[in-house]
Chain A
C-alpha cells in the first residue's frame, strides 16, 4: 500500500503571496488531518477533514483553509503569507471511524516565506 504523499516537498514564497499544498491519503482512508511544525511552536493541529467535511479545527487564523475532495485527497491553502508561516506542514490520514485510529503521516511540505 502506498503511503501518504504530499506535494510539493519544498516551496519558497514571498510575503503576501498565497500557497496551496496537496495531500494524498492512503487508499481507503477517509480522514485527513493537517499539522504545522515550527521550532518555536512545535507541532500544532490545523484541521481535519472527513468525507469532504471539516470535522475538527485548530486555533489558526482564517488565512489557513482547507478542503477535501471526493477521492479523499486534501488541499491546504494559506493566503497572505507571513514570515511566521514558514514551517513544515504535515498531513496525516486515517480510516477515520468513530474510534480513534492510527494516523499515518506524510513526509511533509517545507514552506519558506521570504
Chain B
C-alpha cells in the first residue's frame, strides 16, 4: 500500500530564513506528487505538483519542490519565508490516472519575527 511520511510534525523558522519541508513516499511506481497548504479553518490549496519531466517543480507563493526518485522524496523549499506562510503543509501522492490522494500527516510551520 502506498504511504507518505512527513517526518517533521512542527517546524519553526524566522521570517526571511529559508525553509525545507521533507516528504518521503512509498509506492511501487512513481506516483503523482503534490504539496498542499492549509491555513486555520480553511480547505487545502495546491502549491505545486509533479507528474513527469523536470524534477524541479515551481509552484505558487515562491515555493518549489524537487523530486528525487532514488530517495523516494519530494521535499518542499522556499528561499525566504514570510509571516503569511505560517500554516500546515501536506504532501500527497496519487496513483497515475487516479483521483485518490494519500496524504502525509502534515507539518505545521510557525514563523517567528
Contact = CB atoms under 8 A, between A and B. Distances in A.
Contacts, number: 59
Interface residues of B, number: 24
B89 interface: no
A42 B99 contact: no
Contacts of A90: 43-44
A43 B94 CA distance: 13
B99 A43 contact: no
A48 B101 CA distance: 10
Contacts of B45: 105
A45 B97 contact: no
Interface stretch (A14-22, A62-70, A72-80, A95-103): A95-103
B43 A108 contact: yes
Contacts of A106: 43
From B32, B97, B99, residue with most partner A Cβ within 10 Å: B99
13 contacts: A42-B106, A43-B103, A44-B103, A45-B101, A56-B100, A90-B44, A92-B44, A98-B97, A100-B94, A103-B46, A107-B42, A107-B43, A108-B42
